[in-house]
Amino acid sequence: MYDDESLLELDPVRLWPVTGGPTAERALRTRGRNTMNRLLRAGIVCFARKGFHGTRVDDIVKEAEASHGTFYLYFANKDELLEALARAVTAELTVLAGSLPKLEPTSTGRESLRAWLAEFADMYRLYRPILRVWTEAENDNNSFGQIGNTVFQALSSAFAEGARVAASPGVDPEVAGTALLALVERFTYFTATNQIRVDVPTSLDTLTSVILGSLFPPGD
């Protein structure tokens, strides 16, 4: 279901320091920081395996090779661990949104868009378990909804900007931007989850084509 190997790509530095939990007051020393990182990574692994509700604090603790009590030294509860992870993902994706290149029907534009989509797909694959769990937990704790909106706005606006430049007549750029985000997100999801069997280059090509094709009709 989830390819644990890809977790190796996880850069611990990215995930820290993102919490405001019990540790907010304490200054962590090296040992503590290390433990916290182990817990964060264990969280990702476990959530990926069993989802949010399916994961027991016990699972996380075992994975992190820590004791039960230690967990609560760093996070008030499971929710807070997820929140820390979500915050990390949010930060990353917001940065990515800022780096969306100018959309234009030149070969340079094509290349850079394709590269960006590749990066998006990589990150998506990496953070999918978190995103997935995030949705799952949204019901319990609506602070998650807030975090998500930020990312949605950032990405949506970036695409809207591209659509504005293309200026297709009769199409609201904001709406078109959202449509493109929808396309990219879900298509990436379908490929990442193997719902469609397609090799990476083909999927990137198709996505690039559909995006630019819909914004800049080749006949122009």
Question: Would you tell me which residues interact with DNA (CB under 7 A)?
Answer: 26, 28-29, 31-32, 34-35, 55-58, 66-73, 76-78
CA distances from 30 to 22, 41, 61, 63, 142 (A): 17, 17, 19, 20, 33
Segments in 25-172 forming alpha helices (H): 30-54, 57-63, 68-74, 78-98, 107-137, 143-166
DSSP character for 25?
S
CA distances from 28 to 17, 43, 84 (A): 10, 19, 16
150 binds its own copies (CB under 8 A): no
For residue 182, give both structure tokens: 């929808």
Minimum distance from CB of 12 to DNA (Å)?
15
Among 95, 165, 167, 175, binds its own copies (CB under 8 A): 175
106 binds its own copies (CB under 8 A): no
Of its own copies, DNA, none, which one does residue 150 interact with (CB within 5 to 8 Å by kind)? none
Among 4, 186, 200, 201, binds its own copies (CB under 8 A): 186
69 binds its own copies (CB under 8 A): no
For 181, the enclosing helix (H) or strand (E) is: helix 173-192
The residues binding its own copies (CB under 8 A) are: 50-51, 53-54, 135-136, 138-140, 149, 152, 156, 168, 170-172, 174-176, 178-179, 181-183, 185-187, 189-190, 195-196, 198, 202-203, 205-207, 209-210, 213-214, 217-220
